[in-house]
Amino acid sequence: MAALRTREVDPGKIILRTMTMDDIPDIMVIEHESFSLPWSEEAFRNELTLNHFARYLVMEYDGGLIGYAGMWNIVDESHITNIAIRMDYRGIHLGERLFKALMDWAIELGMQRMTLEVRVSNIAAQSLYSKFGFYPAGTRKGYYSDNHEDAMIMWCELPNQENETGEEEGSEED
Ligand SMILES: CC(C)(COP(=O)(O)OP(=O)(O)OC[C@H]1O[C@@H](n2cnc3c(N)ncnc32)[C@H](O)[C@@H]1OP(=O)(O)O)[C@@H](O)C(=O)NCCC(=O)NCCS
């Protein structure tokens, strides 16, 4: 079960779009309230300008930024770098919506599988990932430098785009 509802949100007013440089100040607020090892502004700037593998989505509501998520797509594997929802907006299935949008984007880009690392203590995130078919596939010992906590590595096989859109394989005429 997700955390207690803290806000009423009209789901029809949620906007999902790609991240731009102008989003970075708002991202930093969410980053600092969400992670004990927050990324710097420069890290996000580099992601948007230098890292050709990187793709980032943001979620907007009522003119404000309330979440973001990103991935690195390399060949046919997508590595999720981060996902966060503003604290006041957690527990009302917005993380789920954002995560699904990221997965759909990866599928659209032809990715075959997705992976991520998550703190072994982060049950909320693990539970979210499990809902989308991610399974544990090992640990990275002492991965997080603040408290030397282990990371759980999770993987998920993605459906191919044809199956996702309901088209049958081999249905096209030669
Ligand atoms: C992880 C995070 C993005 C989830 O976003 P959210 O909007 O609060 O989650 P949702 O309301 O969409 O919940 C979706 C599912 O996640 C899981 N979940 C979410 N919050 C949970 C909680 N407090 N306890 C247990 N499971 C939880 C549940 O499986 C839930 O489905 P359910 O409500 O049907 O049981 C959010 O908690 C967050 O930003 N955390 C801080 C940053 C972070 O830890 N990111 C992940 C790094 S690996």
Each domain of the chain, given as residue ranges in start order, spans 11-160
Using the mean position of ligand 1's atoms as its centre, give its distance from the Cα of residue 167 in Å: 32
Using the mean position of ligand 1's atoms as its centre, give its distance from the Cα of residue 95 in Å: 6
Mutation probe of ligand 1 site: the residue of 92, 96, 103 with most atoms within 8 A of C-beta: 96
Mean pLDDT over 106-122 rounds to: 98
Could you say which of 41, 60, 96, 117 is catalytic? 117
For strand 54-61 and strand 64-74, is the pairing parallel, antiparallel, or unpaired?
antiparallel
Coil/strand/helix, residue 14: coil
Mutation probe of ligand 1 site: the residue of 127, 152, 156 with most atoms within 8 A of C-beta: 127
Token pair of 21 as six digits: 């440089």
pLDDT at 164 over 60: no
pLDDT in tens, 69-86: 999 999 999 999 999 999
pLDDT at 167 over 70: no
Nearest residue (CA) to ligand 1, atom 48: 118
* Closest-CA residue to 141 (of 151, 155, 153): 151
**Torsion angle defined by CA atoms of residues 152, 110, 20 and 42, in that order, rounded to the nearest 10 degrees:** 40
Tell me whether residue 129 is one of the annotated catalytic residues.
Answer: yes
Question: CATH topology for 11-160?
Answer: Aminopeptidase (3.40.630)
Question: Strands, DSSP E only, in 19-158?
Answer: 54-61, 64-74, 77-85, 113-119, 135-140, 151-157
pLDDT in tens, 25-69: 999 999 999 999 999 999 999 999 999 999 999 999 999 999 999
pLDDT at 4 over 50: no
